[in-house]
Chains A and B, each alone.
Chain A
């Protein structure tokens, strides 16, 4: 009984303490004030577990498929190097230096378990610089990049440049949608089929899709 009370008091104190830290502004959100090492390790652990659990059932395609690798090279070069750098350009950028947590370098990305890498690409990571790519790209292009990531460790600058040059499209490997693009019919070099006439042009400012009828009805009240 006494133990219970003590526990309860401790729990209340913890909640009150947390509330105090929040309301007094004592918690420093600045990205240039690092977490305590133990906090950092805790967040890292939470992230690793969160991803591992959610990625466990993902079915991995053949990551040696040359078509996947080809599309991945161009897409990686077009979308990821500003944060993760590349064998051809290892110079730090403002983003790679300025983000906290720091984006892992390209060679480190190559060692990430493929399911976890795919999940991370598709969903992004909250409260970090890693964006959600699954909104604008089809899964197979995400897999293309996962396949390409695995080849990165030890890749020479020449091989990297050759892989990017051989990738379809001018700089992208294909698969991007025209998010915010002015011309919905614009085609990016690759031989992708166009968006059908019945799908709306993606508007990044639009509300998420309410696919249920009653929400639609609510919209129509006068």
Chain B
């Protein structure tokens, strides 16, 4: 009977201790302000690549505005898009594939460009960008490190994106 009581208080202690020690570790959803921001970015943009960078910016801005069709205007019809092991082999495939999910996701996300380097040689330009993305997921905030390589070719209609490679991981996840 005595052991019984002891065991009961033990159970009580076991139940109570974690209940008090678990802090509510909610990240502040209200702090996520949807939109794009390059104010703090470290930029290394070769003058010859400036127009190509403007195209990339238009593409990203259109996606963030929730407008995949407008974004697609910057893509070469035969664009090759690689993303975390997945492939889309044309503009149409992207539009029918990930474009909508990308636009939906970016529409509510806060994207801060942290670093960008852009070079051009003749009719080709390549632009590497690193961004920190904060997005709301239910009551939580997900923080993502996102990287992007874009290759553009100069055509009669101006610079067009011929290749994109995206990859991302949770912010702070190992190396």
Contact = CB atoms under 8 A, between A and B. Distances in A.
A195 interface: yes
Interface stretch (B50-58, B120-128, B149-157, B164-172): B164-172
A195 B172 contact: no
A212 interface: yes
Interface residues of A, number: 39
B102 A209 contact: no
A6 B83 CA distance: 69
Interface in B1-55: 3-4, 6-13, 15, 19, 27
Contact of B104 (A17, A193, A216): A193
Contacts of B9: 14, 17-18
A207 B144 CA distance: 13
Contacts of A18: 6, 9-10, 13
Nearest to B18: A126
Contacts, number: 117
Interface residues of B, number: 46
B70 interface: no
A79 interface: no
Given A196-B102, A198-B102, A200-B168, A211 B7 contact: no
Given A195-B101, A216-B143, A46 B7 contact: no
B100 A193 contact: yes
Interface stretch (A37-45, A70-78, A85-93, A153-161): A37-45
Interface in A182-199: 183-185, 193-199
A198 B168 contact: yes
Interface in B68-110: 81, 83-86, 97-98, 100-102, 104-106, 109
16 contacts: A27-B10, A38-B8, A50-B19, A185-B85, A185-B86, A193-B104, A195-B101, A196-B98, A196-B101, A196-B105, A197-B84, A206-B170, A211-B142, A211-B171, A218-B172, A219-B172
Interface of A: 14, 17-18, 20-22, 26-27, 36, 38-39, 42-43, 46, 50, 139, 183-185, 193-201, 203, 206-207, 209-212, 215-216, 218-219
